[in-house]
């Protein structure tokens, strides 16, 4: 856990600084200077760009992280792996863009009635998808080198600061909304460009092909097959988060979509530690498979799961008890998203509690089964959203997403347990959930203090101290306690 802890702590700090900047953007600036429809457009374009990038990548980013140790050579040419992976990603982008343009008319027709603004800006997805694809590709390479801090800084901090500047320009009426959208897309190229320059600086870019030996040819074929299966199986992880947003926009319009996607961002704060740990744990899990260290696999799986449960519950609690204060900073229409946060937040907590289940599965020899699970997940997501959105609107979309996330993770946990006898749960974890519920009830007893800053500060301080002290002094997570002790020791 050494390198995982060091890097994940740094990345988590950067992520929460980014979340703070992002909250200013999403909660204060976007909601107060753009209409709900315009907020929905910006948020959905960003989500669709992630989907665009993942389909274009053809699973190559997964392959880079898993197979780079087998291609690595002392001369840093790495058997031409960078060249072949870059070529594959470029070809994938061209193919997917052709398909994207071929289906342009029916997609635009679907959104033309309820979400005409999205239909008008449909083609902006091409450059935004390219920018996202480029960042993901370079990020996967740096992850393989265990250099994840730089990627987090440019994406979590720098990108959001640039967006803050652009929103401010629009708020001051120095640019039009059309110029805002164009600038928003161009900003997303900045992180990718910085990562490319950084990789060139550390001499890890090789755009020239290297003669392929029979061994490397066989390894490339194995890598391609693995990438294809990850592409098919992992596609659901990028389709599902955007299904509810796009279906809600198509059925109920961009206004509800704007509120819904803003609440989604509020839940993203809960998952930052989870994403950070997964990012730095993936190469560690890969090495554990290589060494056949199943005891080490169980240990890191359990540690990550318990830490995620505690941190997820804490941040859910911190946001839930302050929802009224947060909504007071936004137009009144956004308060309709209260129960959207509840349902999505519960789903995210369970997803975090599943620990490294997904990483263990997709890096194992049984990774092909993830494709079946993913198809099932997509089917459940589409069906549940289609059933619930027409009658319940954004709340229906949130319930559908929560349900499918829980079912999907339970299926994968059961599969990993059956074949590898690895699982993340313990009966003693139930008291963490009970403690969270008790803190929610206690917060309801604290009267509103008349000023949202004072109220948020007092409410958060009281609940955080009680929750944190209880978890710490009961030694619920030795790994979490060790991390906190280390941080306190550095502070002095």
Tell me which residue of 278, 227, 267 sits closest to 81, measured CA to CA. Answer: 227
Q: What is the pLDDT of residue 249?
A: 87
CB atoms within 10 A of CB 123: 12
Q: What is the pLDDT of residue 286?
A: 82
How far is it, in rounded angstroms, from Cα 360 to Cα 364? 6
φ/ψ bin of 199: left (φ > 0), alpha (ψ from -120 to 50), beta (otherwise): alpha
pLDDT of residue 96 exceeding 70, the answer is: yes
Q: What is the pLDDT of residue 78?
A: 56
- Which of 447-462 are b and which e, b meaning 16 or more Cβ less than 10 Å from the residue's Cβ? eeeeebeebbeebbee
More confidently predicted of 310 and 105: 310
Encoding tokens for residue 167?
A: 């929103």
Q: Which residue has the tokens 């720098």?
A: 158
More confidently predicted of 139 and 417: 417
pLDDT of residue 1 exceeding 50, the answer is: no
Task: Give the lowest-confidence range in 135-144, 311-320, 321-330, 374-383.
Answer: 135-144
Burial of 164: CB neighbours in 10 Å, binned 0-12, 13-18, 19+: middle
Encoding tokens for residue 489?
A: 């020791």
How far is it, in rounded angstroms, from Cα 455 to Cα 211? 66
pLDDT of residue 180 exceeding 90, the answer is: yes
- Which of 193-217 are b and which e, b meaning 16 or more Cβ less than 10 Å from the residue's Cβ? ebbeebbeeeebbbeeebeeeeebe
pLDDT of residue 368 exceeding 60, the answer is: yes
More confidently predicted of 407 and 486: 407
Tell me which residue of 164, 138, 205, 160 sits closest to 33, measured CA to CA. Answer: 164
Q: Report the pLDDT averaged over residues 71-100.
A: 76
How far is it, in rounded angstroms, from Cα 239 to Cα 459? 37
Q: Report the pLDDT averaged over residues 9-29.
A: 80
How far is it, in rounded angstroms, from Cα 77 to Cα 211? 11
Torsion angle of C-alpha atoms 21, 23, 25, 30, degrees rounded to 10: 180
Q: Are 311 and 14 in contact (CB under 8 A)?
A: no
């Amino acid at each position: 856990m050494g390198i995982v802890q060091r890097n994940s702590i740094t990345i988590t700090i950067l992520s929460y600084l980014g979340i703070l900047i992002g909250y200013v953007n999403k909660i204060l600036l976007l909601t107060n200077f753009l209409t709900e429809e315009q907020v929905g457009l910006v948020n959905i374009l960003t989500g669709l760009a992630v989907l665009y990038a993942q389909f274009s990548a053809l699973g190559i980013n997964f392959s880079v992280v898993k197979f780079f140790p087998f291609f690595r050579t002392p001369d840093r040419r790495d058997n031409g792996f960078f060249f072949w992976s870059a070529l594959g990603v470029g070809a994938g982008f061209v193919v997917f863009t052709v398909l994207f343009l071929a289906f342009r008319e029916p997609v635009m027709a679907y959104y033309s009635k309820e979400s005409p603004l999205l239909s008008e800006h449909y083609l902006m997805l091409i450059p935004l998808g390219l920018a996202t694809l480029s960042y993901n590709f370079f990020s996967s390479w740096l992850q393989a080198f265990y250099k994840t801090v730089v990627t987090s800084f440019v994406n979590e901090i720098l990108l959001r600061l640039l967006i803050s500047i652009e929103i401010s320009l629009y708020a001051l009426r120095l640019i039009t909304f059309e110029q805002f959208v164009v600038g928003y897309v161009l900003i997303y190229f900045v992180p990718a460009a910085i990562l490319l320059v950084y990789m060139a600086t550390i001499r890890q870019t090789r755009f020239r092909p290297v003669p392929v030996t029979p061994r490397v040819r066989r390894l490339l074929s194995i890598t391609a097959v693995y990438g294809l299966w990850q592409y098919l199986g992992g596609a659901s992880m990028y389709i599902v988060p955007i299904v509810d947003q796009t279906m809600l926009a198509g059925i109920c319009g961009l206004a509800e979509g704007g509120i819904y996607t803003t609440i989604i961002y509020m839940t993203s704060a809960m998952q930052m530690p989870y994403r950070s740990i997964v990012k730095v744990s993936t190469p560690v899990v890969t090495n554990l498979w290589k060494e056949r260290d199943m005891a080490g696999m169980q240990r890191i799986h359990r540690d990550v799961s318990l830490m995620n449960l505690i941190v997820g519950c804490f941040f859910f609690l911190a946001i839930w008890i302050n929802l009224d204060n947060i909504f007071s900073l936004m137009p009144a229409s956004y308060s309709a998203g209260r129960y959207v946060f509840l349902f999505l937040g519960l789903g995210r907590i369970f997803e975090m509690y599943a620990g490294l289940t997904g990483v263990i599965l997709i890096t194992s020899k049984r990774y092909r089964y993830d494709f079946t699970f993913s198809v099932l997940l997509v089917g459940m997501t589409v069906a549940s959203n289609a059933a619930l959105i027409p009658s319940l609107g954004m709340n229906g979309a949130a319930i559908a997403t929560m349900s499918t996330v829980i079912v999907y993770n339970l299926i994968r946990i059961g599969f990993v347990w059956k074949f590898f006898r690895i699982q993340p749960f313990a009966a003693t974890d139930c008291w963490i959930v009970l403690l969270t519920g008790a803190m929610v009830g206690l917060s309801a007893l604290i009267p509103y203090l008349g000023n949202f800053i004072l109220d948020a500060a007092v409410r958060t301080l009281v609940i955080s101290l009680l929750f944190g002290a209880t978890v710490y002094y009961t030694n619920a997570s030795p790994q979490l306690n060790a991390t906190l002790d280390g941080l306190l020791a550095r502070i002095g």
